[in-house]
A = this chain, B = another copy of it.
Amino acid sequence: MTGTRDPRRVTAVYDIEAVDPERSAAGLAGEQSSGTFTAVPGETDALRERHGAQVVALDVGEERAPSLPTRFAPERVRPARATVEFPMENVGTDLATLLTAVAGNLFELGDLTACRLSSLTLPGEFVAAHPGPAFGVPGTRELIGGAGGVLVGTIVKPNVGLDEDGFRSVVRELARASIDLIKDDELMTDPAYLPLATRVRIATEEIAAAEQITGHPTMYAFNITGDLAGLRARHDTVVAAGGRCVMLSVPMMGLPALAWLRSFAEVPIHGHRAGLAAQMRHPALGVDYTAWQQLARLAGADHVHVSGLGSKFSETDDQVAANIRSLQAPLGETLPVLPTLSSGQTVHTPAPTFAAVGSTDLLMLAGGGIVGHPGGPGDGVRALRAAWDAARSGTPLAQAARSVPELAAVLS
C-alpha cells in the first residue's frame, strides 16, 4: 500500500461485492497470482513478495442485495472498489496471459456477487511491446484518397443472402456515391452462396470502376472472420485483388487472433465488436469497454466499433461517448485508432456526437440513413457529410439544409 506506482505493475480496478470485501479482494489478488484457497508448501514469503498481486486500495460502500447469484447465496453484501496491482513479471508481455490474470477465473469466485474490471492501467513496457494499429486514422485516410473530416460508411444490406448480381448492384451504387467505406455485415463471412473471393472480385472491380467516375477510392472492409487455418489465405485474397481493408469480429475470434492477423496484415483491420456485450452489458460483471479497448488497440485494430449515439443498442449516449473518449486517449506511442459508430446513425446524430467527443476522427456507418435516402445513396452520403459540416460549425440542421437539398430532403 505504498504511494508510488511501481512501473512494472499492471493496475486493475474492480467493482466487487462480498460479505467481507477486504477478505474477498485479498482472495481475488491471491487467486490471480501466487495464491490458492489453501496455503501450500512452496508459497514462501519471498515468492509472494515477488509474484503476489496486491490490493493497494479498497473503498467499501453501503450494504446491499447481491447483484449476481452464487452458491453461497448471501442475503446482504457490501460493494467495494478494489485496486489491485499485478507484477508484470507474472504476465510478461503476452496479451492472453495478461487477460487470464486480470479477467480470467476471478469472475466465478463464489464469494463475490459482483466482479467488474472497470479500469486497467498497463505498464509502459507492456504497451511498448505491442505494435498497435499499423494504419490507424492517418493510414486509413490515406488509403481513401486523403479523405478528411468524419469518414462516412455503410454496411451492405441485406446482411446475408445476396447473390452475385445483387451484391454487385449494391456495391456499385454505394461506390458511385463516393462513400468512404463499405463493409460486410458481421454475419457475412465466406458462405457457399457468395464466397469471400467472389465478393472481393466484384467489390474491387466495382470500386475501381467507380473511382474512374468519382475520383474517390472507396475502402471496402471485407469480413475475414472464420477459421484460423484459413485466415491468412483470406487476408491474402483481399490484398491480392487490391482490397484495402479486412474486418475481424474480435470477440468471436479472440484478441490473440487479432494480434496474429496484425502480424501479417498489409491493410487496415476493421475491428468489429460482435458478441462483446455478453461480457460487458451487466454492470456487475465482466469487462468495461474502457479496459477492453486498450487490448484491442494493442493487438492492432485500426478501426474499433463503439455502438453509436442515438443507436438502437443498449448503451446510453453517455456510455457511447465514454467509449469514444477511451479510444481517443493516448496509448503509448501507438497510432490513433478510428472509432466506428454504427446503428441508427442519421443526419441527426452528428451534432450530439461532435458535442460529446469534439473530434471528426471518426467513422460513421449509416445504413438506412444512406441507403434509405429518397434520392439514393449518393444523396444520403452528401446529406450526412453536410450534417457533419453543420455539427462542426454549430449550424442548426434546418439552416444548413437551405443550401443542401439532399439534407433538406431528409428533414422535411
Partner-B contacts on A (CB < 8 A): 32-38, 40-43, 47-48, 50-51, 68-71, 89-92, 94-97, 99-101, 103-105, 107-112, 157-162, 166, 169-170, 186-187, 189-193, 225-229, 249, 252-254, 256-257, 259-260, 263, 274-279, 281-287, 307, 311-317, 343-344, 367-368, 371-372
Whether A34 lies near B96 (C-beta < 8 A) is no
Give A332 to B404 CA distance when docked, in angstroms: 61
Nearest chain B CB to A9's CB is how many angstroms away?
Answer: 14
Whether B286 lies near A160 (C-beta < 8 A) is no
Give A47 to B159 CA distance when docked, in angstroms: 11
Look across to chain B and name the residue whose beta carbon is closest to the beta carbon of A156.
B42
Residues of B within 8 A of A40 (CB): 157-158, 367-368, 371-372
Count of this chain's copies in the oligomeric assembly: 2
Whether A97 lies near B187 (C-beta < 8 A) is yes
Interface residues of A, dominant DSSP: loop
Nearest chain B CB to A81's CB is how many angstroms away?
Answer: 18
Whether B99 lies near A252 (C-beta < 8 A) is yes
User: What are 19 A-B pairs at a CB distance below 8 A?
Assistant: A33-B161, A36-B157, A42-B158, A42-B170, A43-B157, A71-B315, A89-B192, A89-B193, A97-B226, A101-B187, A104-B249, A104-B252, A105-B277, A108-B314, A108-B315, A229-B263, A253-B256, A278-B279, A285-B285
Give A282 to B111 CA distance when docked, in angstroms: 15
Whether A189 lies near B96 (C-beta < 8 A) is yes
Residues of B within 8 A of A275 (CB): 99-100, 103-105, 107
Nearest chain B CB to A328's CB is how many angstroms away?
Answer: 21
